[in-house]
Structure 1
Amino acid sequence: MSVISISSLKDQAGEVPLIAVVAAQLQSRATKTTKGGKPYLDLMFADSTGFLNLKIWSETPLYPEAEELPLQAIVRLEGEWTQNQYGINGNNVSWHRLDDSAIADFLAGDPVVRKKQEKDFADITRLCDSIIDPRLKLLCSHFFVTMGERFRRTAAARKNHHARRGGLVEHVAQMMRAADLICGIYPELNRDLMIAGVLFHDCGKLWENTYPEDGFGQIHSMHGEMLGHIPLGIELVNKLWRDLIESSVFNDFSASKPATEDVRMHLLHLIGSHHGSLEFGSPVLPKTPEAHALHHIDNLDAKMEMLRDAYAQATEVAPGIYDRVFPLPANLVRPLREFENDTPAL
């Protein structure tokens, strides 16, 4: 039986049991108890496409083995899978450890996801290369040289949207493509600032939501926990900016307009305001056209990703109506199909 990814499992599983095999890495294990006092293990597995929670009940033969399975172990999960509004359920599940060759294939990631992320990264570098302001262009290049590999294995979030290894690249690429188009519609937007702002708006997540080189579980860091990605992003951009000043590459632009310091402040403002409101974590409200545009592009891309995930896993409770999937606010309705002209030609 061929191995499928976690995202494919979520796409295919429904009320009728699906017999399937998934390769995954154990990320966490917690011992819990039902309201009736029945103990069980809550295991979190991951691959390059997403996460899978699996409950192992105490009376099953697998329970003792699940207690001893080391964290970060990579296994082949075989079982009968169903899905409801609460997620994936596994029945008659068994597993075995992968050999070195299979582990290497697993760590390389899902081929479809890897190909998409490579295209997305190419789009990001292409659009950054199109920046006219040499200061912002140099800053982007310095970021790719010093942080490119870490950037490419970072998620955009711990859950809800693009919560997978490389998810930040997917999120940034789609936002950057949208920003490029929107700047052609609204001439008051500074395109160079928008492209750079998209690249750096979530760069603090390189400490908040990054992954190790050899696994698919997000790393918890003290910097990410105590500061959060917005202060970390501001600090990173300031550090990269100082690097360029100290290397004298900005000396040729001392008479350029706008002033170099103004460019830095406007870019930092995009990072600080991109959540759009104080209650959602931004230390400052959007105060420029680019800040308002960036916030809405960010929110739109996150929502569209949530919708894609929700349609893939939601249960159809009535014809064309699906259960609400957190964090979306309401039940979903099947999207309207594209127009097709079925009228016979005269």
Structure 2
Amino acid sequence: MVHLTIFQLQKQTSAEPLSASFDVQLERKSERETRSGKPYYEMVLVDATGQMKLKVWENLPQFKALQELDDGVLLRLSGEWTQSQYGIDSGKWDMRLLNEEEGQAFLAGDAETKVRQDADWQSILDMCGGIGDPRLKRVCADFIDRYGDRFRRTAAARKNHHARRGGLVEHVAQMMRSAQALCAVYPDLNRDLLTAGVLFHDCGKMWENSYPEVGFTQPYHLHGEMLGHIPLGIETANAIWREMMQEDEAELWDELNPKSEDVHLHLLHLIASHHGTHEWGSPTLPRTPEAMVLHYVDNLDAKFEMMRMGYESQPELAPGIQERQFPLPSNLVKPLGHFETADHTSLE
């Protein structure tokens, strides 16, 4: 029996049973009923690499055991796992609580994920450190000093993409790389503004999708529920900017062009417009080239992550065709491989 993460389990399971164990935190359990009135539990299970759901039927011994378990407990699940269009399931499995040593190892996180997120965080620091405009460089540095730890344990979403501890770091780092690459193609873009806008665009999710200092359960926050991440992001950027402008250093910026109040306004516009449409939650529409680029690199990176998830977890409907990954609009088709040159040796 192999021991896997949730990500590995989702990637490796198929219609054929896979004998495996995996450690998880029980984010929550909810008691439900089928259309015929048969009760079951739906478990939402999380680890450092992602999330999965598992149904526990009334005739299983785990159904009664779940009644005694609180949300947040650490578990090891073992069994013969299969995957279908309805997700991962097993006809024969068991679960137990992790002991203290196992729990500490689990809470330390998946090593591969940590290495990747550490590298992405360093990329963010490097790109923000390379900002030339002293006001944007300073507001990014102040934000990172104040919120860096919380930012690093925040997800980019609750379920659709980068929905894991540290997922926001992965999302923002890739967006910054994409944005900076586009600045080379469209040199009129304001690279400094775009880099700062990417850092701040989803910072309000620290009150929507943040994780506690220990653990992988994603709680709900009253501010996130009542305001949403765009107003919270605007408020966060505003507060840091205004405090920064009260310092003596700000007097040195009076003669800079563009004016500080214009830089401030354009940064707020990037946060406010990044969803692209009123229907998607933006209070205003993208009205500058930087706002348009930010919206599209945000959408592109989210869609690419959804496709990656689908290729790794969705069942195959036919050779080269996999089932749709929600919320993408259609089934996935295996991408075309890269062209490889053949090593032809001429005959003499």
Are 1:84 and 1:313, in contact at CA under 8 Å, matched by a contact in 2?
no
TM-score by length of 2: 0.97
After superposition, the C-alpha distances for 1:82-123 in whole angstroms (9 at most, x for unaligned) are 111221113322111112222111111110000000000000
- Give the equivalent residue in structure 2 for 1:169: 169
Cα separation, 1, equivalents of 2:234 and 2:178 = 23
* Partner SS, residue 30 of structure 2: strand
Is 1:259 matched with 2:272? no
Other structure's SS at 2:286 match: coil
Matching of residue 318 in structure 1 with residue 318 in structure 2: yes
Q: Is the 8 A contact 1:54 1:90 kept in 2?
A: no
- Counterpart of 2:139? 139
Distance 1:200 1:145 in 2: 14
- C-alpha distance in 2 between matches for 1:297 and 1:50: 23
Contact kept in structure 2, 1:23 and 1:47, CA below 8 Å: yes
Matching residue's letter, 1:95: M
2:331 is matched with which residue? 331
Unaligned runs of at least 5 residues, structure 2:
none
2:49 maps to 1:54:
no
State the AA in 2 paired with 1:161.
H
Question: How far has the Cα of 1:67 moved from its partner?
Answer: 1.4
| Structure 2 counterpart of 1:270 | 270
Whole-Å Cα distance in 1 between the matches of residues 287 and 311 of structure 2? 35
Q: Report the Cα offset of residue 167 of structure 1.
A: 0.2
> Is the contact between residue 322 and residue 332 of structure 2 (CA under 8 Å) also seen in structure 1?
yes
> What are the residue-to-residue correspondences of 1:66-77 with 2, within 5 Å?
66-77=66-77
> How high is the sequence identity, in percent, across the aligned residues?
51
1:64 maps to amino acid: K
| 3-state SS, counterpart of residue 77 of structure 1 | strand
> Cα deviation per residue 1:215-249 (whole Å; 9 max; x = unaligned)?
11112011000100000000000011122122333
Distance 1:92 1:249 in 2: 66
The Cα offsets for residues 33-64 of structure 1, whole Å up to 9 and x where unpaired, read as 11121110111110011111111111112211
The secondary structure found in structure 1 opposite 2:67 is helix
Q: Paired residue for 2:78?
A: 78
1:291-310 maps to which residues of 2 (within 5 A)?
291-310=291-310
The 10-residue stretch of structure 1 (292-301 or 249-258) with the greater mean CA deviation from structure 2: 249-258
CA shift at 1:10, angstroms? Answer: 0.3
Given that residues 2 and 19 in structure 2 are in contact (C-alpha distance below 8 angstroms), is that contact kept between their aligned partners in structure 1?
no
Corresponding residue number in structure 1 for 2:100: 100
Alignment-mate amino acid for residue 40 of structure 2:
Y
2:282 maps to: 282
TM-score (norm 1): 0.98
Please state whether the residue corresponding to 1:305 is helix, strand or coil. helix
Letter in 2 for 1:291: A
- Count residues with an aligned counterpart: 346
What RMSD over aligned residues (CA atoms) do the two structures have, in Å?
1.1
Secondary structure of 1:256's aligned partner: coil
> Which one-letter code corresponds to 1:180 in the other structure?
Q
Who is 1:239 aligned against?
Answer: 239
Q: Secondary structure at the match of 2:248?
A: coil
One-letter amino acid of the counterpart of residue 45, structure 1: L
Deviation at 1:142, TM superposition (A): 0.5
| Structure 2 contact 155–167 (Cα < 8 Å) conserved | yes
Letter in 2 for 1:205: K
CA distance in 2, matches of 1:342, 1:39: 59
Q: Secondary structure at the match of 1:26?
A: strand
SS in 2 for 1:249: helix
Contact 2:124–2:173 (8 Å) recurs in 1: yes
